[in-house]
A and B are shown apart, each in its own frame.
Chain A
């Protein structure tokens, strides 16, 4: 009886793909070692990627692509986008390791995502997880002392490989088992992007996303301030998807503790805010071109007039004596309203969130 030759199975890695250069490089490096790689991209609701750019008008800008999809297409690998909006609430609202400079729970976030990737890996018969993390690049989740925390608390342990800085870390299971050649991995560290850019050039990757300000709104000081205001005004730390999407759109002003006004900044935002008319009282400017304004928490006519005078400031009638609005309450009652626009000085700096 002839012995049957054992053909080793192609090892399978699942890559966390943000759409940026680092995760792209990590996935590509694994592909170049002959592994089968598929991408995972998690949608928390706080991702900067894609949708927020779609809301605002900018005729000069190229249509925005989703960079995670684009990376996957460039690398010829499947990408699975996973809605984690609900599950992510516990990460943001109760982070074990606290927040960074703003409301960014980066260490808990990374642990959560690697944990979700582990679930996916096990359900789809993959062997290990890769990320594009670089030692020392981020102050909270990408440190020598926090890398092991992510591996341990996610449950991935040594099935978590970071190809771009693996040579600075103890060998992981894929390296020890010879699924991956450690010699062909990298030892990048620090905040400089030069090694990644050089590697991209070496690999023939010329086009990649250049994220400005990170990929998550929670690292943004203005966004975090608006989210804190939301929680404070409701005396409750909670949110739904509409809440967190709305914080990305329009000018947000709070002229009284109970009263919030959201004024669209252009026609694209007006179009988007129209989708919220059933949830909010709103003001639609009728005498001049101007933005749609959502009003939250109004208690009386004085509040409505205050909101309208603010809204009038941001339309083409800002210098007019009077600006007219169609006012529609949350229960659908409509009436006409005329107000004198605030002057620029009357819209107090403190009102802006």
Chain B
């Protein structure tokens, strides 16, 4: 089980979701992925994508500049 980072800053949805989806496809069960975004729309879209595909949303954080979303991969 490992932790990985994904830089999706500067991308507008749905690109952060697509990048997350493609990265998760390369990870293993239990791995954690931290996704850094600047589009606040990711706060809705990535959790929705996690629910659809059964991945676990660990946390979301938002400040003025950036959104950080942590998910645990479930396969």
Chain A: residues with CB nearer than 8 A to chain B? Answer: 41, 43, 47, 49-55, 63-66, 68-70, 72-73, 77-83, 245, 272, 275
Contact = CB atoms under 8 A, between A and B. Distances in A.
A66 B44 contact: yes
Contact of B44 (A63, A78, A79, A80): A63
Interface residues of B, number: 20
A49 B48 CA distance: 15
A294 to B, nearest CB: 15
B15 interface: yes
Main secondary structure of the interface of A (DSSP, over half): mixed
Nearest to A64: B41
A104 B18 CA distance: 24
Contacts of A50: 12-14, 41, 45
Interface string B32-70: 000000111101110011011100000000000000000
Contact of A69 (B10, B39, B48): B48
B25 to A, nearest CB: 10
B51 A66 contact: no
Interface of B: 10, 12-15, 17-18, 21, 38-41, 43-45, 48-49, 51-53
A73 B39 CA distance: 21
Nearest to A50: B13
Given A63-B40, A66-B44, A69-B48, A78 B14 contact: no
Contacts of B43: 63
A51 B17 contact: no
Contacts of A78: 52-53
Contacts of A272: 12
Contact of A70 (B13, B18, B48): B48
A66 B53 contact: no
Contact of B17 (A64, A66, A77): A66
Name which of A51, A83, A245, A272 has the most chain B CB atoms within 10 A of its CB: A51
B12 to A, nearest CB: 3
B13 A66 contact: yes
A339 B53 CA distance: 55
Contact of A65 (B21, B40, B44): B44
Contacts of B14: 41, 43, 47, 49-51, 66, 68-69, 81
B12 A245 contact: yes
Given A55-B12, A245-B12, A73 B51 contact: yes
A66 B18 contact: no
